[in-house]
Amino acid sequence: MADGQPSKSVEIPPIVQELVTDVQEPPSRYVVPEQDRPDVAGSEMPEPIAIVDLSRLSSTDNSDDENVKLRSALENWGLFLAVGHGMEPSFLGEVMKVTREFYKLPLEEKQKYSNFVDGKEFRMEGYGSDMVISEKQILDWCDRFNLVVEPESRRNYTLWPTQPPSFRYSRLLPGSICIRKRSSVNE
């Protein structure tokens, strides 16, 4: 299951892009029941989402403060806004641009990179929907596209789109930066 290996699942959910053509609202499998929704949903946010400067995590000055901020963000929110990651805004803009171009492609083109092997077994890499492990599982109302970027030796280029042409190349550059940052965050 991990590391892009196929795994068995209960069922293969339809691609959300297919569902939206025939429904007026999301099917119940995609809706969290009222009683299971967090109390905070719909109310004001108690505090702003933390901004963590990743460049400060590995520095000797103020790294303790940044580590405290990171830990708090992960424990309280499960997310944070990362700055100081070493990626230029122009590069991030290009990544967003080619990603949007990929999602605008016809469904048939995107399904060439499916996260289901032979339409039966789920793998972590590729384009598609959630892995279903339970008939009662609430699914996310989105289609995903996951790729292994690092280490380079584990990239499965058969799952890297050829359209738009710039997709393969714009994704290659930040890999080592992301790995270095992830290593410093994990320490």
Comparison of pLDDT for 37 and 110, the residue scoring more: 110
Report whether pLDDT(1) > 50.
no
Helix, strand, coil: what percent of the chain each, to 5? Answer: 40, 10, 50
Supply 51's token pair: 């901004």
Domains of the chain from N-terminus onward: 16-186 (2.60.120.330)
- Name 52's bridge partners: 82
What integer is the mean pLDDT of 62-67?
79
Residue 160, CA distances (Å) to 65, 111, 175 in order: 39, 12, 14
Query: pLDDT tens digits for 14-40?
Result: 788 888 888 888 888 888 888 887 766
- Indicate the pLDDT class of residue 181, thresholds 50, 70 and 90: very low
Instruction: Tell me which residue of 19, 38, 17 sits closest to 29, measured CA to CA.
Output: 19
Distance separating the N- and C-terminal Cα atoms of the chain: 26
Contact 155, 147 (CB under 8 A): yes
pTM over cut 0.75:
no
Report whether pLDDT(108) > 50.
yes
Coil, helix or strand at residue 177:
helix
Instruction: Tell me which residue of 153, 130, 122 sits closest to 15, measured CA to CA.
Output: 130
